[in-house]
Structure 1
């Protein structure tokens, strides 16, 4: 139960009053139902006995009848209020939990894990958070309500005749405690298998949908379909085991209710015959004893879901404890510099060698610097560091002041299922259509958008579906151009474009660089030719640099991949 402690603390801190109120209203609903059943039994029995005697004329039917109506209204109102309060409180707590989890994944390690395994972690943030709603709705609240109702019924029976309480004193610990514990313990393993099977089924189905071309080319379509069916078979087997456990639990709880009825009858009948209690009280006791065990019925499902909730809590708890520290802005660079780096050192977790080691670099305001080098030399890592995605172990980094201070065009195409206009307005929410079209013209997409029937209102699919990879890259560049930052970070901006399109784009981009410090990471000669200065990165350090117009500049260009 240790993984549940941060979850329980969150429930208690976020909506304490609502959660307690929901449990109280659940108890009121159960108590009103038991009282309604018992009072109805008392009323019917008392009315029948009064009809057999001369007391029928004096028997008051109005007060019991009014009590029955009142209890029916109380039960209905309490049930409505209980559903409203408990579900609202649970949904609000889960919303807060999701926010904390997102903040936990905002740490460097969390973001990297999210990028490596997005399908699994998305499952954790959705289905596994939803699994925690059973912790309150099906375990804590029903258990609290059932205990309160049991104590109230036992107190009532004890006041009527102490002997009437003995059957429930024996059966309640068995049916209300031992039975749910046995179900929860027996359901742990199939519950874990069910959760693992659901996760595998979803991830494999997503892989089949998103990677269908790759699977088809590799001849693995049938194997992927077989793996999906295997996960579905495991899921069906786990659910069958859980359903059998629930059926057995329902049968045992029913038998416990019948035992309570028989036990109470065997005690109430002699007491009524001896005149210790009246026959109507005996009828009330019988029905109340039978109904009180039904208060534990919701715990059957809760016990089945407890294993899934425990597994979800075990997986989610670390991210609840690991909150991202507030981002500290980099200091302001010296006057005349857009970027100032000194002796930076960065090492990935578990790596022996640092990616950046004693790295120093300056980029002047209005200067374009191209960072070149072999794959894995640390060029994109430096951009991630400057954009705040990762943090250096040591060294000093500062940026020119501004809002925003940097604009980063990464190799990832981050487009959303929205219109072209909506994707561009993310960078400049107040931009006019004329300004958006100007940015698109600079990125080489102006004629393409103008030819579309809906223009800027054209809807894109998920991930920018509907655009080619080259068009998506140019749309990303147009979005970057809408952000007036003192430092632009461009990671291979024309990768995937043909030579003619790329050269035309770079020609339009060159005048836009004026007034901005620009750091371009590239393997391509055509992109490096934009730069006023080339910097060769090797072994995490600056191995060479050259300014435009020098022989070293041309020598470094010759080492790059031709257009």
Structure 2
């Protein structure tokens, strides 16, 4: 429950919608109870009357119709308002989660599988956003209905009020609370095992070719079947506990009804209540327990919501890899980059050891060497996505640790080997770098990247959709579009990580030549294992054993 309370501010932001949904839910339940009570009184009175045609049929029949219509309209309104508020809450939840997740990327918990992260970002958020509709709202409405009917019984049938009040309170408060306590583990198992199943599916899809080639596809399938079986068992345990709780509620309803009949007949015999009123009260008691049945069905979902909240807060509150200084320094105008005696590693042997490097403003530097020797780690440090264990990195004489990350990122632009193209238009993909850029700026960047003619030839031009991952363009065209996006930014320092991955040698040579011209006047640092064409870089350094030479 503590983890669920972490999101109380987000729930409060949609309080108007939820309160209106609660009010409509209350009206629905009240109309249902009133409908049964009025119907019972009306039918019994009509059966017992000796007034004949003089008996007033119009008023009670009108009340029955009115309560029916009120119940239908209130139920529809509750669903409409409640789901609208819930969908808005869902958007807020995702915004909250991503706002806290981005500063923590890449996640320091390397045991977190890709599939599990996807599950937390999708299924766990979806589980959390139902907490109000399926649990909190019904409980609040049921308590109000039960309290009101207890008051009515205290007025018309005092002998049954205490029995009903105790049974109803146990049904809507004690039984659900007990179910939450005993089903917490089952709810947690359902969420974690569902995440395991999703992760297994993703692993199987991504590794299908390797699993097939190595002849272990059957083993992977058996593992998934086992995971699914454990998920089914967890759901079965949760369903069993929910069923036991539902039986408890029905037993309490039966006790309340049987006791009220017994006490009501005694009151009828004593003349303190008449028959039609007693019949109406008994049907109203039956109708009121409809709310308690809904609560029990919902509590199972509440336990999974609580488990989902725990999983979300685990990653949302994980330690920040890099923290901004309390009193950040002003970003220097000088863009000289200096690394002094820098050592960096990921918990094991260092990948960078006592590294020194100075890059002057406007200088183009290439760092070459085989994969896995720390070239990308160097760019990670320059962007201050991580801090070195030893040594200092400064920009214009100011240590990066004294600057705001937003200022650092505004002055540097990254083109990585897996820079994405999103499933949107070319225009939208470019505007990520500078959202206020006009068409002239867009075409200028495309021209500098050597791809303007290609874009002009497309039927939609800048508004052409390029598909997920840029699947409608070639690898070389995709790299140039990403380069255009980097060039469009106002960054004075361009960092390129294996920018020619996937290109043949001809396209590779053309890319470096384009970069030489397009990035003139800006600082460029390229890390690559490719051979650098002569004349395209001011300096070419080789990285060996975590050092530059």
Q: Using structure 1 for the length normalisation, give the TM-score.
A: 0.82
CA contact (8 A) 2:104 2:319 kept: no
The equivalences for 1:65-464 within 5 A come to 65-109=61-105, 111=107, 117-321=113-317, 331-335=330-334, 338-341=335-338, 343=340, 345=342, 347=344, 350=347, 353=350, 355=352, 357=354, 359-365=356-362, 367-372=363-368, 375-391=371-387, 395-398=392-395, 405-419=411-425, 422-424=428-430, 426-427=432-433, 430=437, 432=439, 436=443, 459-464=465-470
Q: Distance in 1 between matches of 2:10 and 2:159?
A: 43
Aligned to 1:558: none
Residue 286 of structure 1 deviates from its aligned partner by 0.9
Q: Distance in 2 between matches of 1:116 and 1:291?
A: 48
Aligned to 1:553: none
Residue 167 of structure 1 deviates from its aligned partner by 3.1
User: Which of 517, 520, 526 is matched with 1:514 structurally?
Assistant: 520
**Which region of structure 1 is more displaced relative to structure 2, 267-276 or 22-31?**
22-31
Q: Distance in 2 between matches of 1:352 and 1:62?
A: 89
The answer to whether residue 497 in structure 2 is matched with residue 501 in structure 1 is no
The answer to whether residue 66 in structure 2 is matched with residue 64 in structure 1 is no
Name the SS of the counterpart of 2:385 in structure 1: coil
Shift in alpha-carbon separation, 1:220–1:353, aligned structure 2, 3 A: same
Residue 322 of structure 1 deviates from its aligned partner by 6.2
Over aligned residue pairs, what C-alpha RMSD do you find? 3.7
CA contact (8 A) 2:487 2:519 kept: no
Q: Distance in 2 between matches of 1:344 and 1:15?
A: 52
Shift in alpha-carbon separation, 1:326–1:79, aligned structure 2, 3 A: farther
Q: Distance in 1 between matches of 2:189 and 2:499?
A: 46
Residue 446 of structure 1 deviates from its aligned partner by 7.1
Aligned to 2:3: 3
Shift in alpha-carbon separation, 1:112–1:442, aligned structure 2, 3 A: farther
Aligned to 1:555: none
Name the SS of the counterpart of 1:524 in structure 2: coil
Shift in alpha-carbon separation, 1:404–1:244, aligned structure 2, 3 A: closer
Aligned to 1:556: none
Residue 353 of structure 1 deviates from its aligned partner by 4.5
Residue 36 of structure 1 deviates from its aligned partner by 1.5
**Which region of structure 1 is more displaced relative to structure 2, 248-257 or 152-161?**
248-257
Q: Distance in 2 between matches of 1:508 and 1:9?
A: 51
Q: Distance in 2 between matches of 1:18 and 1:446?
A: 49
Q: Deviations over 1:157-199 (max 9, x none)?
A: 0111310213313422443334324443454344333323322
Q: Distance in 2 between matches of 1:86 and 1:101?
A: 22
Name the SS of the counterpart of 2:503 in structure 1: coil
Q: Distance in 1 between matches of 2:112 and 2:451?
A: 32
Residue 269 of structure 1 deviates from its aligned partner by 1.2
Q: Which structure 2 residue ranges, 5 or more long, are not aligned?
A: 398-406
Shift in alpha-carbon separation, 1:311–1:418, aligned structure 2, 3 A: same
Q: Distance in 1 between matches of 2:273 and 2:356?
A: 92
Aligned to 1:559: none
Name the SS of the counterpart of 2:6 in structure 1: helix
Q: Distance in 2 between matches of 1:534 and 1:115?
A: 37
Q: Distance in 2 between matches of 1:88 and 1:174?
A: 32
Q: Which structure 1 residue ranges, 5 or more long, are not aligned?
A: 545-563
Q: Distance in 2 between matches of 1:284 and 1:92?
A: 41
Shift in alpha-carbon separation, 1:454–1:17, aligned structure 2, 3 A: closer
Q: Distance in 2 between matches of 1:358 and 1:209?
A: 41
Shift in alpha-carbon separation, 1:25–1:321, aligned structure 2, 3 A: farther
Q: Deviations over 1:417-476 (max 9, x none)?
A: 33556544544665659965x766765667877888887776544323355555543443
Aligned to 1:549: none
Matched residues, number: 535
Residue 321 of structure 1 deviates from its aligned partner by 4.6
CA contact (8 A) 2:351 2:374 kept: no
Q: Distance in 2 between matches of 1:280 and 1:171?
A: 24
Name the SS of the counterpart of 2:336 in structure 1: strand
Q: Distance in 2 between matches of 1:466 and 1:79?
A: 48
**Which region of structure 1 is more displaced relative to structure 2, 138-147 or 243-252?**
243-252
Residue 208 of structure 1 deviates from its aligned partner by 2.4
Shift in alpha-carbon separation, 1:476–1:115, aligned structure 2, 3 A: farther
Shift in alpha-carbon separation, 1:386–1:115, aligned structure 2, 3 A: farther
Residue 297 of structure 1 deviates from its aligned partner by 1.1
Name the SS of the counterpart of 1:397 in structure 2: strand
Name the SS of the counterpart of 1:489 in structure 2: strand
Residue 124 of structure 1 deviates from its aligned partner by 0.6
User: Which of 473, 491, 494 is matched with 2:479 structurally?
Assistant: 473
Q: Distance in 2 between matches of 1:311 and 1:369?
A: 50
The answer to whether residue 26 in structure 2 is matched with residue 27 in structure 1 is yes
Residue 540 of structure 1 deviates from its aligned partner by 5.7
**Which region of structure 1 is more displaced relative to structure 2, 371-380 or 171-180?**
371-380
Name the SS of the counterpart of 1:525 in structure 2: coil
Q: Using structure 2 for the length normalisation, give the TM-score.
A: 0.84
Q: Deviations over 1:457-504 (max 9, x none)?
A: 765443233555555434433433444542221222223332233223
Q: Deviations over 1:317-342 (max 9, x none)?
A: 2445569799789854455xx43335
